[in-house]
């Protein structure tokens, strides 16, 4: 990895899990291989998985905490607050984000406070709608990608007001606080076979509901 100031001082990689035992080992292996030679830590926030994810994470990660189920956004913020390094990278644990891309995100923190890895293709119409509304307002084409790099200050002081917003409220609160947001496009690996956020109708409904909350917080 190219040695930017941030990477030399260290990177905290935060992932949230809910029943990800199948994926967490491979994710941690890929992150460590990518950050080989860079001081880093991996933080897993698990929301009461029933498949043994937390037990495995305790063996493999640097920090692994378990709590009751409260959604991805709260988990990401809790993980960020536990981070010890000046750069925080958040990444899904289901291998739908490419850990090898972390250096490109971190490099762009030289210009922005937050850098989003935007998927070149957004599969759900609700995500495409959110990109044209919220995304335009905050300056990213993939508002719901939680594959992001944050300068520590841009995230750790956030106070979440809403319920689950799939990470959206983190961008909105940071933008409102005056932090700059940039993006890097990347081709995401295929999504998992059976989406857990819900089928076509339910997933789009939940994302639109989260988007309306985010618009309310932003405007």
Ligand X SMILES: Nc1nc2c(ncn2[C@@H]2O[C@H](COP(=O)(O)OP(=O)(O)OP(=O)(O)O)[C@@H](O)[C@H]2O)c(=O)[nH]1
Choosing from 17, 126, 165, 211, the residue that interacts with ligand X (CB under 6 A) is 17
148: number of CA atoms within 13 Å, CB side?
Answer: 30
Cβ closest to Mg ion, residue 62 vs residue 96: 96
User: What span, in angstroms and rounded, lies between the C-alpha atoms of 71 and 166?
Assistant: 8
Q: Which of 122, 81, 101, 103 is nearest to 7 (CA)?
A: 103
What is the rounded distance in angstroms from the CA atom of residue 194 to the CA atom of residue 134? Answer: 27
Nearer to ligand X, 6 or 24 (CB): 24
For residue 96, state whether it binds Mg ion (rule: CB under 5 A).
yes
Q: Which of residues 83-122 bind ligand X (CB under 6 A)?
A: 92-94, 96
CB of 89 to Mg ion, least distance (A): 17
Q: Which of residues 38-57 bind ligand X (CB under 6 A)?
A: 45-47
Q: Which does 72 bind (CB under 5 to 8 A by kind): ligand X, Mg ion, none?
A: ligand X
Q: Is 69 in the site for ligand X (CB under 6 A)?
A: yes
6 or 188: CB nearest Mg ion: 188
Of the pair 19, 133, the CB lying nearest ligand X is at 19
Contact footprint for ligand X (CB under 6 A): 16-18, 20, 45-47, 69, 71-72, 75, 92-94, 96, 191-192, 195-197
Contact footprint for Mg ion (CB under 5 A): 94, 96
């Amino acid at each position: 990895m190219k040695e930017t100031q941030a990477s030399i001082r260290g990177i905290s990689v935060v992932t949230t899990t809910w029943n990800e035992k199948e994926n967490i080992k491979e994710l941690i292996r890929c992150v460590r291989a990518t950050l080989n030679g860079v001081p880093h830590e991996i933080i897993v926030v698990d929301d009461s998985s029933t498949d043994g994810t937390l037990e495995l994470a305790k063996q493999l990660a640097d920090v692994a905490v378990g709590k009751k189920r409260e959604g991805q956004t709260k988990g990401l913020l809790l993980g960020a607050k536990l981070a010890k390094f000046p750069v925080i990278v958040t990444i899904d644990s289901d291998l739908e984000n490419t850990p090898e891309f972390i250096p490109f995100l971190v490099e762009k923190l030289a210009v922005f406070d937050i850098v989003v890895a935007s998927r070149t293709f957004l599969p759900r119409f609700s995500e495409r709608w959110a990109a044209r509304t919220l995304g335009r307002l905050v300056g990213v084409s993939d508002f719901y990608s939680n594959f992001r790099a944050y300068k520590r200050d841009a995230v750790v002081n956030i106070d979440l007001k809403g319920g689950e917003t799939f990470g959206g409220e983190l961008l909105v609160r940071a933008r409102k606080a005056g932090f700059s947001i940039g993006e890097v496009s990347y081709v995401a690996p295929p999504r998992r076979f059976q989406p857990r956020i819900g089928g076509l109708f339910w997933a789009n409904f939940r994302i639109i509901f989260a988007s309306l909350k985010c618009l309310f917080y932003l405007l």
